[in-house]
Every structure is written in C-alpha cells, then in structure tokens.
C-alpha cells in the first residue's frame, strides 16, 4: 500500500507543479527540405519565442557553416507570407538581417500573434528568384519551400525556421 501512496503523492505534486508552466511549441522542428546542416543558428535578436510590440524593430541572426546564399521569408499569423531578404551572399559565421548596407529596418507591424521566419540556404546562387506573396497554410508553406530547394543536392541546401510573437 505504501508504494501506491508514494506514487500518488509524487503524481499530485507533479500535476500541481506543472499546472503553472507555460509550454511553447516550436513550429516546424523538422523540415523535409532541410539537408546539409549548413545553418548553424537562426533566431531573432531577443531569442526564439521572444516578444515584440508593434512599432519595435527586430533583427534576425543567421549562422551558417559555409559560404552561400540566404533567403529569409516571413509568415504572419494570418498566413500572409513575404520575402525579407532574397539570395543574399554570406560568408560562414553569423549575419544579422537586415544588414547595414541594405538600408532598411524590420519594423514590427500587425497582425499580432506568432511570426514565423524561415531561412533558406543554398551553397550555389539559386537559378530562380523566390517569388512569394500571398496567403499560405502550413501545407502550402512547406510545399513551396520544398519546391524551391529541390533542384539542389541535399548536401548543398538547408532550411530552418524560427519564431517570435507580435503583441
């Protein structure tokens, strides 16, 4: 009888302790298009899952293990997607977007909610420009990315995604 009682006390303590926790789910932990482990890091300047108010600026830090081309695409909470940076040549290491020479800032605007940012990396310059504008659901968003990188060998491409919240 004692082992059952101890187990019940432990289970109750865990349930009480977990009831105050917030669980965050990272979107798209595994992407079919991901290939060569070429992106070493991808996060907003305050960290993944951080929060930004409308009107604040955000920078996206992309770490790469090889020289190549980065495209950043944002997917808003309402499903609207847009390109933040297209086929930007980077050296190995961390590059912050927007870069100073780009002459732009990424200013947070509505809609409020989760903002996903996908980095697409290829070692060779993409032969087609990424044309994306419009509304995407999760399946179309992934299908689009897969179609964009499929011409390149898996070892020469990588796709990663991060997120933050707009309040």
pLDDT tens digits, residue range 89-116?
A: 999 999 999 999 989 999 999 999 999 9
Q: What is the CATH number of domain 30-166?
A: 2.60.40.1220
Question: Sign (positive/negative) of CA torsion 7, 8, 9, 14?
Answer: positive
- Give me the residue spans of the domains in the chain: 30-166
Is this structure's pTM higher than 0.95? Answer: no
Mean pLDDT of the chain: 80
- Rounded CA-CA distance 58/54 in Å is 10
Q: Which residues of the chain have pLDDT under 70?
A: 1-36, 128-131, 138
- Rounded CA-CA distance 16/44 in Å is 33
The answer to whether 52 and 46 have CB atoms below 8 angstroms apart is yes
- Rounded CA-CA distance 28/143 in Å is 13
135 Cβ contact partners less than 8 Å away, ≥ 6 residues apart: 78, 79, 80, 81
Residue 70, SS3 per DSSP: strand
Q: What is the pLDDT of residue 22?
A: 28
């Amino acid at each position: 009888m004692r082992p059952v009682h101890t187990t019940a006390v432990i289970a109750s303590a865990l349930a009480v302790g977990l009831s105050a926790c917030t669980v965050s789910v990272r979107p798209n932990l595994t992407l079919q298009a991901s290939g060569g482990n070429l992106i070493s890091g991808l996060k907003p300047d305050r960290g993944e899952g951080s929060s930004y108010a409308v009107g604040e600026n955000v920078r996206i830090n992309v770490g790469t293990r090889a020289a190549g081309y980065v495209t950043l695409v944002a997917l808003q909470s309402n499903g609207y997607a847009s390109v933040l940076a297209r086929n930007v040549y980077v050296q190995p290491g961390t590059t912050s977007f927007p870069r100073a020479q780009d002459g732009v800032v990424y200013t947070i605007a509505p809609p409020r909610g989760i903002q996903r940012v996908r980095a697409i990396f290829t070692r060779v310059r993409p032969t087609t420009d990424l044309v994306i504008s419009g509304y995407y659901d999760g399946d179309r968003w992934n299908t689009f990315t897969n179609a964009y990188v499929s011409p390149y060998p898996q070892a020469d491409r990588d796709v990663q995604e991060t997120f933050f919240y707009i309040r």
